A and B are shown apart, each in its own frame.
Chain A
Amino acid sequence: MKKIFVALFALLPALSFAKGVEFVEYDLDNGLHVILSQDHTTPNVVVSVMYHVGSKNEDPQLTGFAHFFEHLMFEGTENIPRHTYDKYVSDAGGELNANTDMDRTYYFELLPSNYLELGLWLESERMLHPRIEEIGVKTQKDVVCQEMGQTRDNVPYGRLFTEILGNSFKVHPYYHDVLGSEEHVRNASIEDFKAFHDMFYVPDNAVLTICGDFDLEDAKAMVSKYFGDIPSGNGEFRRPDPNMEPRRTAPVKDTVYDNIQLPMIVNTYRAPAYGSDDMYALSVFSAVLSAGNTSRFYKNIVDEQLALQASAEIIPMEHPGVFAVLGIPNMNVKVEDLEKAIDEQLYGLLENGMTDEEFQKVMNKLEVAVASSNSTIEEQAMNLALAYTYLRNTNAVNEDWEKYSRLTKEDVINVAKKYIVPQEKVSIYFLPKTEDAKAAETAE
């Protein structure tokens, strides 16, 4: 046991009196990081494992693997036959699921508290020896390719994220999306999958988090029992350099013709990494632009009937990522005119700053958001795991308000100026696919 942290939420300024998330954490000898957080509101627990692997860690010739594993990890283990992994959880009245993004993959079970040990057995089995064999791989290839069709290729704006990433990154592997290439997934061999597993699905690349109604000492003993004997990896992880993507020197424009009815404008800029001080400042900046219906975008763009929707947001990514501004023009509004209106708001704020009232309003909103966060053990577990995985600072879950309340409105603008730079603007137009639009394209 290396460290015990107890959150000292009382030290935080201003926020009325919500309690923070309390937890203890330590490492096992095999490198598995363990976070335990008690909450006795109802007799339930969350058991989760976050692996520090996402699409950015994939071999560029074999994309879609992290997401594929999310599916494969439900196929059973040496001790758990196919089609039964989820049954153990549902038999107990629990739920399980998993999700994958560019940076991490997260598996979790929600269980009645008397089934904590079951959750640990399941996750440890999956870490120790999942089934990576022909039949399961084939089934999941079909399911995953179906999902690509359903969520990306066959849905209006389904390619949005794919195009944002592809246009915003040229060097950093963030350039390909999480679902990856259907061809790569289809053609991948069992050996390819095994190699990916051996590199990333090891205790020294994972965080085990338990939240909810349990006894601390019992839980620690159970964690050792099920995870203590899982061998570490060989210590070599494919991790891209966070800053490998060079800053742009000239703006980029792209037009995507898609199966959509209304066009969409997406402008992206570089964004600071998740959890960095700059991210907090830029979050305030984007809230002034688009949080709520008295924000600048809403009042000057949506209310003025220029757009159905307009928003500015930071896509949360572990490495420096994407600040995206999106707009869907109202009928009869030209995309160029909407983009101009968005730019006026964006650069107007950057140049002239915000009023005291605007700043206070956004801080009030953030106070509500922080007061409302971590309201379930499911959310707590996820945020604890994320904070450790990205920042190696689990207590970051309790530090949001402190980070925000330190900011002044001048800080916000100064930070935003580092990122919102005209020569780094990527402008993507999503236009409806029509024959005549294609003709217009040829004419350009």
Chain B
Amino acid sequence: MKKIFSILTLAALLFSVESFAQLDRSKAPEPGPAPKVEMGSYEKFTLKNGLKVIVVENSKRPVVTASLNFYRDPVLEGDKAGLLSIYGDLWSKGTKKRSAEEINEEVDFIGASFGTSSTSIYFYSLSKYTDKMMQIMTDVLYHPAFPKAEMDKLKTQYLSFIESSKTDPDAIKGNMEAAVIYGPEHPYGDIVTESTINNITVDDCKAYYKKYIMPNQAILIFVGDITLDQAKALSEKYFGKWKMGKPVEVSYPEVSKPEGINVVFSAKDGAVQSSIEMAYPIDLKPGAEDLFAVSIANYIYGGGGFSAKLMKNLREDKGYTYGAYSSVSPDLLSGSFSAAGEVNANATDSSFIEMAYEMRNMLKGDYDDMDFKRAKAAYAGSFSRSLEQPSTIADYAYTIERYGLPEDYFTTYLQRLDALTREEVQAAVEKYFDPDNAYYFVVGDPSVLEGLAKLDSDGEIVELDYKGEPVVRKEISGDVTAESVIESYLNYMGGRSLIENIKSFSTEEELEFQGVKQITTITTEPGKSLKMTQSAMGNTVMADYNALTGTAIISSPQGTQFLTKPEEVEPFLPQTYPVLEAVIGQFGITAELEGMESVDGTDAYKVKFTQNGMSSYTFYDAATGAKIKETVTAEGMTQETVYSNYQKTSYGLMFPMKRVVSVMGTKLTTKVTKVEVK
């Protein structure tokens, strides 16, 4: 049979070789008749205690997924932000019978996956291990131990993670949105910080468990190699005796829309690209009647990848970005609209202008019928493709159950999509697209602020730090000048005359970084000489500068260098002065008062020093006069130095015994171990 079959095919091939000459490549081939899309089925039933169960049978692969999903109103975490995440991770870290390690071992040995979140417990395993996994799942459900030691481990991990996300534009943007759009009274306004993580206790987890974990607020879903009868038997066996609870209902303040354009900025010094997002809340619930219409509108605008207006404009035409996308998200509490991308720093403002421009085109109805048809086709196509995975059927069944949608919501999906008119889409555009009232979130280099100020309705940009907290700039009285700030700093240090009388000054200090200890000793004679020794890991670098001869010698394991050129030697001279502020006039350094800012809660004057076109910023405590912080930006990166632990030396000079230098979230602490002044 096979042979005949292939001879026939060969004949068909020869025939099509004949037809090459007639092939018209200039036109796209027409599609065949549209295929019928059929959706796989699911079964559902409810236990006496209110637990709903959904079953999607599919025996193509010998695997089963089971998930127990809890639904509840969103929880405001406030000063314990991060509780839900920690709870979710901690839930599976031990029961009264099994330690975290034993759960791991049992699950891992059979190659299964198992996990918990604050609203679910799930597993995925070969179907031959379904019963075994149900035992573990329900042990965690009924007898969690919430061990303190495991919680402490989780906290350490979360703190590391927070540290590493301090400069991550997406994390910063998330915090900015939480703070600005939702605020502290709304659960979506929760911001996780070191202090909120440290506030969380085991009792908080136990309280959460008691309040929210109950069968009448849960949906159990089985997908895969399991029959309805097996699912029923397993459900009764493992969940039949689970006691009902009392659901908690909470209401939250309405989320209001912005008025005008509000630019919200967070600095990432030296960033070559800005992470930008235009966003505002919308009232759009899951299953809303115009959800299809607004989704199609969003697809045409920025949701449709390469064929969307945003991508065509910002990527293909302007080359501002690698990708820009928009999204419309329905939600029971507060839906949202957003358009975002990573754009070239110098195109930050232009990118917003183009985003708004394309939005106005949508409002004018300036899109082709083809755009509309394409969006519908895309939704139909992706719906049809999604049905390949049995888990999709379960997701759809869950959505119907969770949001109380009609049973035929997904089986009539393609019909309703097909019936959608352009007028309905235009009505949704008018209802949800609002280029004149939006937040413009930007994480980028401060050099982009000038262009952004022109876009802001009142010209005043809100500046936030990475935690979404305002960067405060206070008014200062007219008689404060850069000179008076410097003078009060000198007074704090012991007075100008005391400083000018210093004959020699030496310090010894210690820095530890990644296990490497570095010891530095410096001895200077102001205006005359500087000797520095720096040693780490058994190696030593020495510098010896003499102002009278105008020479410097630097010796290191790599060799010895003699510096005699003025441009190489001159930078040493200012460093011979232990308090540079006392002599800035000598070195062509100019000082300018920039204003007042809060440095970790302390009001401080900010003074900008400029020398040879390079600038640095120094912050002086407004109350005491002490120097508390210094920032320098070079090669696109900002280095910050925080001074603390001022102590009076026997000579009478005040000196900061601790310096913490941070760059890109890494902190290095230098401790001064000895100071000698003559």
Binding site for B on A (CB under 8 A): 1, 4, 15-19, 41-44, 74, 79, 83, 86-88, 90-95, 110-118, 120-122, 124-125, 128, 139, 142-143, 146-147, 149-151, 153-154, 156, 213, 217, 220-221, 224-226, 228-229, 259-263, 292-295, 299, 303, 305, 308, 330-331, 334-337, 357, 360-361, 364-369, 371-372, 375-377, 431-437, 439-440, 442-444
Contacts and interface: CB of A to CB of B under 8 A. Distances in A.
B514 interface: yes
Contacts of B306: 74, 86, 90
Given A16-B126, A112-B380, A371-B62, 8 more contacts: A1-B6, A121-B29, A124-B25, A156-B167, A364-B111, A369-B111, A439-B534, A443-B518
Q: Chain B interface secondary structure, helix, strand, loop or mixed?
A: mixed
Interface stretch (B30-38, B138-146, B352-360, B642-650): B30-38
Contacts of B376: 93
Contacts of A88: 28
A86 B307 CA distance: 7
B611 interface: no
B384 A42 contact: yes
17 contacts: A18-B61, A42-B388, A79-B26, A93-B377, A110-B385, A261-B167, A305-B153, A331-B160, A364-B111, A366-B111, A367-B126, A368-B111, A368-B125, A433-B663, A436-B668, A440-B513, A443-B541
A79 B29 CA distance: 12
Given A114-B35, A118-B29, A336-B515, A154 B12 contact: no
Nearest to A363: B111
Most buried by A among B101, B322, B389: B322
Interface string B364-391: 0000001001101111111011011100
B663 A125 contact: no
B388 A377 contact: yes
Of B26, B514, B539, most A-chain CB atoms within 10 Å = B514
Contacts of B161: 308
Nearest to A18: B61
A305 to B, nearest CB: 6
A338 to B, nearest CB: 10
A352 B389 CA distance: 43
A367 B111 contact: yes
Nearest to B114: A293
A364 B304 contact: no
Cβ-closest 3 pairs across A and B: A93-B381, A334-B515, A43-B35
B322 A146 contact: yes
Contacts of A17: 62
A376 B390 CA distance: 11
A377 B60 CA distance: 14
Query: Interface size for chain B: under 10, 10 to 19, 20 to 34, or 35 or more residues?
Result: 35 or more
Contacts of A331: 156, 159-160, 163
Contacts of B312: 83
Interface in B156-175: 156-157, 159-161, 163-164, 166-168
A93 B63 contact: no
Contact of A121 (B25, B153, B511): B25
A435 B520 CA distance: 15
Contacts of B664: 259-261, 432-434
Nearest to A121: B29
Given A434-B668, A435-B639, A261 B166 contact: yes
B95 to A, nearest CB: 16
B9 interface: yes
B271 interface: yes
Contacts of A150: 273, 322, 342
A4 B26 contact: no
A372 B389 CA distance: 12
A434 B639 contact: yes
Contacts of A357: 109
Nearest to B541: A443
Interface in B164-217: 164, 166-168
B273 A154 contact: yes
Contacts of B516: 440
A143 B319 contact: yes
